[in-house]
Amino acid sequence: MDAYWMRGKWGDGGKSERRWNQGSRNPLTIIITGAVFFVGTGAVFTIGYLYPDQLLFTIILGCFVFLGVTLAMRRFMGHTPAYWYTGPFVAIALIGTVMLGEDLALSQAGELTEVVVADHKVEQKTVHSSNPPRSRQVYVHTYSLESTDGTPVAEPLIYRGKDGYDDFDEGDTISVLIDPEGKAPTKPAEDVDLPADIGILVTGLVTSGIVFLICLIVVLLRWTRSPLQQHVR
């Protein structure tokens, strides 16, 4: 009975030991991954700020950074939960980066203008995906604008989502930021909130940095323990 208990005890200990030691033992892997994350975040911000009209490309670039970092952390930490303690904070930082880049560009280049909502159209599309097989509805709201003197505004106000802007109806007078060169999308002035964007970005960067630091400590512990384990064997 005692021998059986000892085998079970040491067997469980061996499993715990293997779980502890799986993944990378090289601290540089976490340092490099963290560096790639911060450089990638800077690249997303730069593209979003310099080319605010290319929002889709900026989002795609952010998605690649997210996937690269989370997959790398999964590989180097050696277990699936790495997705859960890395992904949310990296996502928050990248969302804040995209929002800040676009809003900063518009706040600098855009002109605060009083306009009238002349027309509101909704385009509904069904998008199909093969993996897994399903379909979903995509809504695009287009608000045609004109100045208070009746002159049409070239750039419409676009909202991608089901409900659109709840407070906007035809004939309403609203304040928007319009880029005269048309490089940045037209947005309601109340939606451009730089302090909120900065807050989201800083929160994501700080929490991501803490996660990287904790993971670095774990890998350092693996690295310091590995020579002893090899000597014992």
Residue 119 lies in a domain: yes
Residues 44 and 104 in one domain: yes
Residues 150 and 171 in one domain: yes
Residue 197 lies in a domain: yes
Residue 5 lies in a domain: no
DSSP 156: P
Q: Tokens 């005890």 correspond to what residue?
A: 9
CA distance 197 to 99: 6
Residues 102 and 127 in one domain: no
Report residue 148 as tokens: 């208070």
Residues present in the chain in total: 233
Residue 15 lies in a domain: no
Helix 82-109 to helix 55-77 angle (10° resolution) is: 160
Residues 103 and 36 in one domain: yes
Q: What are the DSSP calls for 217-231, one per residue?
A: HHHHHHHHHHHHHHH
* Nearest of 120, 107, 232 to residue 172 by alpha carbon: 120
Residue 16 lies in a domain: no
Residue 103 lies in a domain: yes
Residue 184 lies in a domain: no
How many domains, the chain? 2
pLDDT of residue 2: 46
The per-residue pLDDT for range 173-216, each reduced to its tens digit, is 888 888 888 778 888 888 889 999 999 999 999 999 999 999 99
Range of the domain at 164: 111-178
pLDDT of residue 62: 95
Which are the contacts of 161, defined by CB distance < 8 A and separation ≥ 6?
Answer: 139, 141
Residue 145 lies in a domain: yes
Residues 147 and 36 in one domain: no
Query: Position 162: which residue type?
Result: K
The per-residue pLDDT for range 37-50, each reduced to its tens digit, is 999 999 999 999 99
Intervals of the chain under pLDDT 70: 1-23, 129-132, 226-233
Cβ–Cβ < 8 Å for 107, 139: no
